Structure 1
Amino acid sequence: MKRLGELASTLDLDLRGDPDHQVERIASLDTAGALELTFLADSRRRGQLTESRAGAVIVRPDDADSVPGNALIAPDPHLAFARAAQLLHPPEARSGIHASAAVDESVQVGHGVAIGAQAAIGRDVVLEEGVQIGAGVVIEDHVTVGAGTIIHPRVTVLAGCVLGAGCVVHSGTVIGSDGFGYARDGQRWERVPQVGNVRIGDGVDIGANVSIDRGAIGDTVIENGVKLDNQVHIAHNVHIGENTAIAGCVGVSGSTRIGRCCTIAGAVGIAGHLVIADNVHITGMAQVTKSLTEPGIYSSGTGIEANRSWRRNVARFHQLDDIARRLRTIERRLKTDD
């Protein structure tokens, strides 16, 4: 339970209403009750405020007069709501090592570390203060996990990888798997040993079933504040800059360098050995086949349409080269006639 006055003070928000009113959890605008906190980000939905029974609503200054009850006022209600939610729903703090966990005697275990059932922790691992290791997690030799990082059940962190402080890694993720490195001998493939590591910075969130490959020679690097959604694949020697966010089912091929503060929407495919500048925003299902050296919004592909229309357009697409040749011929004739 948090008093509204306490929330307002902690989050540096103005409060209109009862500072002693308490809320205990978050909820949506249309379902929130007296003990719940919600928010309104879109002023076009202002009419819903009159019907809300929420204990408090976070709103922009222009919407505050429409709130029938308690209002917390913020220039960015969604951001303020996110911060309030962290205060109302902190991660459950545990400590201690489950009896069924296999922890090598060389492991350095910081204060307040929790290791769940059936976890396996290898040699010379460092678990800094407050690290939370879920059930069935496998951490191989010489891994370092920074303070306060939470690793959910069934994550695998392979040998030599480094995770920073305050990270969250969700179930099914594999960090440090071999990159896709092979040399061809006629019709056969020879495996190239992948001897680099994965280095992950502070405050990185990694979704479920993400694969982050170790570098072939150097390291794969995920800088501070990066957010990876579920089922993202980061290939060997990729470098992702600070505070970049990548949505689900994105694949980034080897040795590509992605800048700071980029956003990459779902199902984007990025070819290898490219450079993507800072502040690049790529829309969903785009195919990135060349470097993007300037900030901005980039897209590729075509939107969905009726099959009959799509089939006609595809047929015309295959005629474009012939049409372009004919057009050049006509242009040359026109110039000659002039």
Structure 2
Amino acid sequence: MPQNLSLPLDQLLNKVNTEGVPYSLLKTAEQAMPVIKGLASLSHADSDRISFLSNPRMFNLLLETKAGAVILPQAAVDKLPESVPFVVVVCEDPYLLYARISHYFDETRIDLIPKVIHPTAIIDESAEIADGVAIGPYVVIEEGVKIGTGSVIGAHSVIAKGVTIGKDTRLHPHVILYRDVQIGDRCLLHSHATLGCDGFGFAPDNTVEKGAWCRIAQFGTVIVGNDVEIGVCTAIDRGALGNTIIGNGVKLDNHIMIGHNCEVGDHTAMAACVGVAGSSIIGKRCTLAGAAMLAGHLELADDVHISGATGVMSSINKPGRYTSAYPIEEHSEWQKNAAVIKNLYKLRRRVQELEKKR
């Protein structure tokens, strides 16, 4: 990490957005204020790094760490030896404060990117590029595109006709935005994310031959709110008639598929390989763990949490956690249990008949 990001711990914390995350410094008179130039795990930190502990099971790492400062809740501070080599940042939400500090280093690093337009970029004359925008090599920007101040467009990205990108949004290399897609402020799109491609819409057409399909043109678009993050190779289809909508603060991991006309509520998060079929509506603050699958035309209420590899085949109207994945076990045992499960209905009927005879 560049040397010019280094700051004494107290000055660093003054630059970080700590609103709603109170903290205090705990150090002896003999301890110097450490100069911090980055973050690291407890086991890999050096004296110029700040680390954190949020899991009590990792407490023993505090006795070995070489970090210059560590963020700890009071309960952990109470268990420390009388003398420790690091400065303690007392905070009841160490993970959140760590996240806030990470923003300082990330945003400062982004600020160092030259706000220039590379000479190989191909930009239509009608495009409106605000001041302070960085555009990398071989970017293509088509007619009518609008890009807000402070945004960064990575190399080889393609921004199609009519796209709007807000302020301070970053596209990593090779992002593809199809026509008329709208991206809000402070968003982050990772490489090969593709937004606005046609939804999977086909009508059976037996006039051609039995089993043939007729493609349905997709006339909607994708609208992405503010503070959204979209992972590598994630695809979000445009709506067929209406729009596909991604709310504010949504976080999407890598290799996610969101079908046409879906709506994802504010601050919902999805882990890798989630698939959401078309026209599904997902509420606010939901979480979908890795490889969860949602059938089309269903709704999830606010605050619904879907476990990994769970298949959701009908709407969920009540907040809570839902799981359908079969627990893992040794294969031969799984085969035995699977054979029993196939006969559960028959077994239930036999039990009911026996109960009637009692």
TM-score class normalised by the smaller sequence: over 0.9
Residue identity (%): 39
The answer to whether residue 268 in structure 2 is matched with residue 263 in structure 1 is no
Post-superposition shift, 1:315?
Answer: 1.2
In the alignment, which of 35, 39, 54 is matched to residue 48 of structure 2?
Answer: 35
Pairing 1:1-338 to 2, within 5 Å after superposition: 1-9=6-14, 10=16, 11=18, 12-17=22-27, 20-65=33-78, 66=80, 67-90=84-107, 91-93=109-111, 94-186=114-206, 187-334=211-358
- Secondary structure of 1:89's aligned partner: helix
Which stretches of structure 1, 4 residues or longer, exceed 4 Å deviation after superposition? Answer: none
Q: Distance in 1 between matches of 2:11 and 2:301?
A: 41
Deviations 1:164-195 (A, max 9, x none): 00000000111000000011122211111000
Q: Distance in 1 between matches of 2:199 and 2:59?
A: 50
Q: Distance in 2 between matches of 1:89 and 1:55?
A: 20
Post-superposition shift, 1:68?
Answer: 3.4
What letter matches 1:116 in structure 2?
A: G
Over 3 Å counting, the alpha-carbon distance change for 1:326 and 1:43 in structure 2 is closer
- The answer (yes or no) to whether the contact 2:162–2:180 under 8 Å persists in 1 is yes
Over 3 Å counting, the alpha-carbon distance change for 1:19 and 1:207 in structure 2 is farther
How well do the aligned residues superpose, as a CA RMSD in angstroms? 1.3
- Under a length normalisation based on structure 1, what TM-score does the superposition of the two structures give? 0.96
What letter matches 1:28 in structure 2?
A: S
- The answer (yes or no) to whether the contact 1:4–1:19 under 8 Å persists in 2 is no
- The answer (yes or no) to whether the contact 1:210–1:230 under 8 Å persists in 2 is yes
Post-superposition shift, 1:48?
Answer: 1.9
Q: Distance in 2 between matches of 1:69 and 1:210?
A: 41
Post-superposition shift, 1:230?
Answer: 0.1
- The answer (yes or no) to whether the contact 1:250–1:268 under 8 Å persists in 2 is yes
What letter matches 1:92 in structure 2?
A: I
What letter matches 1:16 in structure 2?
A: L
- Secondary structure of 2:85's aligned partner: coil
Post-superposition shift, 1:328?
Answer: 3.0
| Corresponding pairs, count | 334
- The answer (yes or no) to whether the contact 2:71–2:91 under 8 Å persists in 1 is yes
Post-superposition shift, 1:22?
Answer: 1.1
- The answer (yes or no) to whether the contact 2:34–2:47 under 8 Å persists in 1 is no
**Deviates further, 123-132 or 304-313:** 304-313
**Deviates further, 79-88 or 282-291:** 79-88
- Secondary structure of 1:92's aligned partner: helix
- The answer (yes or no) to whether the contact 1:60–1:76 under 8 Å persists in 2 is yes
Post-superposition shift, 1:19?
Answer: 7.3
- Under a length normalisation based on structure 2, what TM-score does the superposition of the two structures give? 0.90
What letter matches 1:63 in structure 2?
A: A
- Secondary structure of 1:83's aligned partner: helix
Deviations 1:12-68 (A, max 9, x none): 420112574210011110111111111111123222212211110011112225243
What letter matches 2:8 in structure 1?
A: R
Post-superposition shift, 1:321?
Answer: 2.2
Q: Distance in 1 between matches of 2:106 and 2:176?
A: 26
Post-superposition shift, 1:330?
Answer: 2.6
Q: Distance in 1 between matches of 2:219 and 2:357?
A: 61
What letter matches 2:333 in structure 1?
A: S
